[in-house]
Structure 1
Amino acid sequence: MGQHDTKHIQSLTRMNQLYERLLNEVDVGIHVINEKGKTIIYNEKMMEIESMTSEDVLDKNLLDVFRFGESQNSTLVKALKTGKTAKNVKQTYFNNKGKEITTINHSFPITEAGNITGAIEIAKDVTHLERVIKENVLNKQNTKFTFDQIIGQSELMQTVVDESKRATRTPSSVLVVGETGTGKELFAQSIHNGSNRSGAPFISQNCAAIPDSLMESLLFGTKKGAFTGAIDRPGLFEQADGGTLLLDEINSLEPSLQAKLLRVIQDKSIRRVGDMKDKEVDVRIIATINEDPVDAVANNRLRKDLYYRLSVVTLFIPPLRDRKEDILLLTQSFIDKYNALFNMDVRGISEEVKPLLQKHDWPGNVRELEHTIEGTMNLIMGEEVITIQNLPGRFRNRYQVDEEPFTQREKEDIPESPKTLREKMTEVEKFYVQQVLANNDNNISRAAKILGISRQSLQYRLKKFSL
């Protein structure tokens, strides 16, 4: 072999290495088959999309590895057999483990001297987006909560229920403020079901659950040809047309999308990604936030202009620690729920358990209480009443006291349960706000100036503290 041949082989080797590197760096799946339908090229992105390894696919017939529905054939095999190019074709199929995969494909044949010698497919993964859309469409059929199902006899809870019922009369935007686990979506569904939109779709989307790169397409839809793999697809606004769209954790939405959301609310129209035309939509927006919205605005997690637009009606859902008179009612309702689910017959809780439940701070709110009761009923072995011994270990270890009775004097010497830092800070804040207001004849503008906060921030605190 001559020197020229050696250099030529080395050059080809380097080019092959470069091509292989390029194949594995691109952000699209690439799958190539030969004239017999066997895979000869299968890049790393395609392995990721299809949850397969190269050993699973290379040098095997594509139809022996993947399964296609009766109404769909492989777009790659179709390009091989027909010699035709197909662009932006959506395909849903299954890998050898039964996992469903959805891609947007560009498939075309390889021809040499007029003969078809193989086919190439370039695939864009939309599996995650398809699943999200399916879940949201199902939400239309899963709007089950009404005001009758909201449990609470406390004054705080009755007040927010009354305000929510009044909000059913108009299509205005609603901002629901409350800690995680307080039941914000329960109120959102109740408002929808109590309004004249109850027969139309209710769609819920958690803004923190979807990557920013998918969120715009999910909300506003896509126009065919807008980007590689894009097809005509309605977004959540179009799906919710005539009904209600719940945007959970709105403060997780990136600022640029918040600006586009504001435009949609103001103009009552959306523009699909890649489209040049606007489409009118009639959607009521209910947004939730799990922090003080004034803090979210101050820390640039919520645009001020969007906050003003969303908070036409603002509902403050009280945490469970502020309405402890509702704990026993909620507890019984959860016992009834899990009696039905677990085919059990637990009547209630013992007298010794009641003060333990009411003493707890419930940082996870109503959701934590429900999970506690569910866990407790998993530990019960035929008892009709929940006792301290049935409670999860974290409760027994934290609250169970020595069973030996105290003398009256000893009881008097026992200090009250210490407050958490959050409880104490809230107590001090409420007292100081009251004091400043009283010293300024309840003039909100003057009091806000002295407190060093905006008038709006003070009004939020007045409502939060029920002052």
Structure 2
Amino acid sequence: MKKDHHAAKLENEIDLYKQMLDLIDVGVHAIDENGNTVVYNKKMMEIESLKRSDVLHKNVLDFFAFQDEMHSTLVQALRIGKQTVHAKQTYHNYNGKEITTINHTYPLVRDGLIQGAVEISNDVTKLERLIHHNMKKKGNTRFTFDSIIGKSPVFSEVIEHAKRATRTSSYVLIVGETGTGKELFAQSIHNGSSRSSGPFITQNCAALPDNLIESLLFGTQKGAFTGATDQPGLFEQAQGGTLLLDEINSLNPALQAKLLRVLQEKSVRRLGSTKEIAVDVRVIANMNEDPVDAIAGGRMRKDLFYRLGIVTLFIPPLSERKEDIPTFVSHFIQKYNELFQMNVKAADEEVLALFQAYDWPGNVRELEHVIEAGMNMMMDEAYLSLHHLPYHFRFKHGEGRPAAQLQANPLQKTAAADTFVYTSPEHTTDFQTQMEQFEKQYIVHYLEKMDDNISQTAKILGMSRQSLQYRMKKLHISRQ
């Protein structure tokens, strides 16, 4: 009778322990010396989307998939007595659900021998998904320093200076021609800094009239003007993050003075309000002209430049780092291979020579557009060739051809000097049709000039005989 009472008391205590384990907000999973589950509480069931009956008294490796058995902290604790704390672990249950937890794992020792192991888990699966979702939602900050292409010495120096700027919250001024990648640098600085989890907001200062830009930047107070409402400006919206002001030199001097006050005081006053609102915002500004020229021309206040230009990055144009062109070409071909479901291997030697000879006034952006346009003209060819490139690029004032090539081929001089008049087809404004008709008329014009000599026509057009024959076939040009 006494024994039955002891057994009942023990059973009651075990039941109390089970209830306590089910009430705590962490997952508890314990295994015995054989790896079989002996404790599996309610929170652990929620974390791993499993029933207690599915796991209890069964081997841990039968229900959870790891890259390797020893990737399981629970198995490590059992087999080698390893204690692990604050360990992030991602694994899959037998239903294929991915689970991410922060674990504290301990071996259970009795009489100097490992008798089992216990794992206490905090579920961070939802947090991981939320972070991933927010990163995708941000979208406009997808660039990091790994996204920046180019290894020329002059460009590598700029990248190094930009990386150093991530260590502080000082204002940054980025100077570079259109298409050099100024916003790419701005996003990389933001994502590499302690503000990376904060907002990244961009505003082109030339995109809107002065009155709208002012209210957009600084916000409005209800009653400030007809229809005005309480509206936070971009500085308030960028709190704790980064505000990128593009084409800062397009702001009028009065607005530049107001901007300077915000930068100095680190507070903003909404239009129509007397209340100062403290702002913690890193400002990065872009401009596409030399600050000295902008100041001399009255397009930028000198005091604003001194305040903004604590860190000034001058991004060199593509014409000053042509050794990076082959890298860009490979990158963009691969990019549009994926987008267009194509398998272009590379640009041929003629194209690369043309790219090296060209000055690229539109910089990297222009190079990308030329490659994208060229790949749109390709069929099943493996290499991007001259005849694939857009006309405005190939024949623009005879530019883009090495001078030595023109000198070596007098026929090309004749072509450059020859007058070709394009006759637009009636009743069509379709761009593709116009381009095809232009190309057809252009080829026919020089075929007639060269008395239908394919080889001579190919030379005067700066392409191979095979390329010309391909274009003729595609455009249904037949010559007797």
| TM-score, length-scaled by structure 2 | 0.55
Amino acid at match of 1:280: A
**How many angstroms does 1:400 deviate by?**
5.5
Structure 2 counterpart of 1:360: 358
CA deviation digits over 1:346-373, x for unaligned, max 9?
Answer: 1111112111001000000011101101
Contact persistence 1:388–1:400 (CA under 8 A)? no
Q: Which residue of 2 aligns with 1:167?
A: 165
On the 8 A contact 1:182/1:365 being kept in 2, the answer is yes
Q: Shift of the alpha carbon at 1:140?
A: 4.4
Question: Residue 395 of structure 1: CA displacement?
Answer: 3.5
Which of 323, 326, 329 matches 2:327? 329
2:206 aligned to 191, 205, 208, which one?
208
Q: Does 1:183 align with 2:181?
A: yes
**Take 1:142 and 1:161, find their aligned partners in 2: how far apart are those partners?**
20
In 1, Cα distance between equivalents of 2:139 and 2:237:
13
Amino acid of the residue matched to residue 159 of structure 2? Answer: V
**Aligned letter for 1:396?**
R
Distance in 1, Cα, partners of 2:377 & 2:156: 34
Q: 1-side partners of 2:177 and 2:206: how far apart? A: 15
Give the Cα–Cα distance (whole angstroms) in 1 for the partners of residues 337 and 313 of structure 2. Answer: 32
For 1:145 and 1:241, the matched residues in 2 are separated by: 21
Give yes or no for contact 1:168–1:191 (8 Å, CA) kept in 2. Answer: yes
**2:146 is matched with which residue?**
148
Q: What amino acid sits opposite 2:169 in the alignment?
A: P
Distance in 2 between residues matched to 1:318 and 1:215, nearest whole Å? 29
1:278 match: 276
Rounded to whole Å, the distance in 1 between the matches of 2:195 and 2:206 is 26
Distance 1:340 1:305 in 2: 47
> Which residue identity does 1:276 align to in structure 2?
T
Find the residue that maps to 1:353 and give its secondary structure: helix
Asked if 1:218 is matched to 2:216, the reply is yes
Alignment deviations for residues 370-414 of structure 1 (CA, whole Å, 9 cap, x no partner): 11011101111111110111111134333468999998xx99xx9
Contact 1:139–1:202 (CA<8 Å) still a contact in 2? no
Q: Deviation at 1:344?
A: 1.1
Percent of aligned positions that are identical: 63
Structure 1 counterpart of 2:346: 348
CA distance in 2, matches of 1:173, 1:139: 26
Q: In 2, distance between residues paired with 1:192 and 1:143?
A: 8
In structure 2, do the counterparts of structure 1 residues 401 and 218 end up closer, same or farther at CA, with 3 Å as the change threshold?
A: closer
Give the AA of the match of 2:224.
A
What does the per-residue CA deviation read over 1:177-203, in whole Å, with 9 as the maximum and x for residues that have no partner? 001110000000000000000000000
Distance between the aligned counterparts of 1:363 and 1:404, measured in 2?
Answer: 22
Conserved? CA contact 1:140–1:203, under 8 Å:
no
- C-alpha separation in 2, matches of 1:229 and 1:187: 38
SS in 1 for 2:231: coil
For residues 139 and 334 of structure 1, what CA distance do their matches in structure 2 show?
25
Aligned pair partner of 2:292 in 294, 297, 303: 294
Question: Partners in 2 of 1:145 and 1:404 — Cα distance?
Answer: 39
Query: Does the C-alpha gap of structure 1 residues 139 and 304 become closer, same or farther in structure 2, counting only changes over 3 Å?
Result: farther
Cα separation, partners in 2 of 1:233 and 1:405, compared to 1, 3 Å: closer
Counterpart residue type for residue 210 of structure 1: L
- The one-letter code sitting in structure 1 at the alignment partner of 2:372 is E
Closer/same/farther in 2, CA of residues 276 and 372 from structure 1, 3 Å limit = same
Aligned to 2:262: 264
- Whether the 8 Å CA contact 2:170–2:282 is kept in 1: the answer is yes
Given the alignment, which residue of 306, 326, 336 partners 2:304? Answer: 306
SS of residue matched to 1:285:
strand
**Structure-2 residue corresponding to 1:430:** none
Give CA-to-partner distance per residue, 1:86-126, whole Å, 9 cap, x none: xxxxxxxxxxxxxxxxxxxxxxxxxxxxxxxxxxxxxxxxx
Letter in 2 for 1:181: G
Greater Rg, structure 1 or structure 2? 2
Q: Quickly say closer, same or farther: Cα 1:403–1:334, change in 2 above 3 A.
A: same
Taking CA–CA contacts closer than 8 Å with sequence separation of 6 or more, which of the two structures ends up with the larger relative contact order? Answer: 1
- The aligned residue for residue 384 of structure 1 is 382
CA distance in 2 between counterparts of 1:315 and 1:182 reads: 12
Q: Mind listing any 5+ residue stretches in structure 1 that lack a counterpart?
A: 1-137, 415-467
RMSD of aligned Cα (Å): 2.3
- Matched residue of 1:272: which SS? coil
CA shift for structure 1 position 339: 1.1
In structure 2, what is the equivalent of residue 252 of structure 1?
Answer: 250
Shift of 1:341: 1.2
What SS is found at the alignment partner of 2:227? coil
Structure 1 ranges of 4+ moved more than 6 A: 401-407
Instruction: Please give the alpha-carbon distance, in whole angstroms, between the structure 2 residues aligned to 1:256 and 1:404.
Output: 53
- The code of the aligned residue for 2:268 comes to I
Q: Deviations over 1:13-46 (max 9, x none)?
A: xxxxxxxxxxxxxxxxxxxxxxxxxxxxxxxxxx
Query: Gapped runs of 5+ residues in structure 2?
Result: 1-135, 414-480
User: Which residue of structure 1 lines up, in the alignment, with residue 236 of structure 2?
Assistant: 238
The 5-angstrom pairing of residues 48-67 of structure 1 reads none
State the distance in 1 between where 2:406 and 2:215 align: 65
Aligned residues: 273
Cα 1:204–1:286 shift into 2, 3 Å: same
Mapped partners of 1:342, 1:160: distance in 2: 33
SS at match of 2:154: helix
Inter-partner Cα distance in structure 2 for 1:402 and 1:297: 38
Change beyond 3 A, Cα 1:258–1:403? closer
Q: What is the match of residue 461 of structure 2?
A: none
Q: Distance in 2 between matches of 1:295 and 1:139?
A: 39
Determine which of 380, 390, 393 is the counterpart of 2:391.
393
- Is the contact between residue 139 and residue 204 of structure 1 (CA under 8 Å) also seen in structure 2? no
Alignment partners' CA distance in 2, 1:171 and 1:406? 55
CA distance in 2, matches of 1:369, 1:152: 14
Instruction: Flag the 1:381–1:253 CA change in 2: closer, same or farther, 3 A.
Output: same
The question of whether the paired residues in 1 share the 8 Å contact of 2:354 and 2:402 is answered with no
Alignment partners' CA distance in 2, 1:262 and 1:400: 47
Q: Evaluate the alpha carbon distance shift between residue 380 and residue 279 of structure 1 in structure 2; reply closer, same or farther with a 3 A threshold.
A: same
Query: Alpha-carbon deviation of 1:299?
Result: 1.0
Cα shift at 1:343: 1.2
Look up the match of 1:318: 316
* Cα gap change, 1:345 to 1:225, in 2 (>3 Å): same
Cα 1:274–1:382 change in 2 (3 A) is: same
Contact 2:358 2:401 in 1 (8 A): no
- C-alpha separation in 2, matches of 1:204 and 1:139: 15
Q: 1:324 to 1:139 in 2, by over 3 A?
A: farther
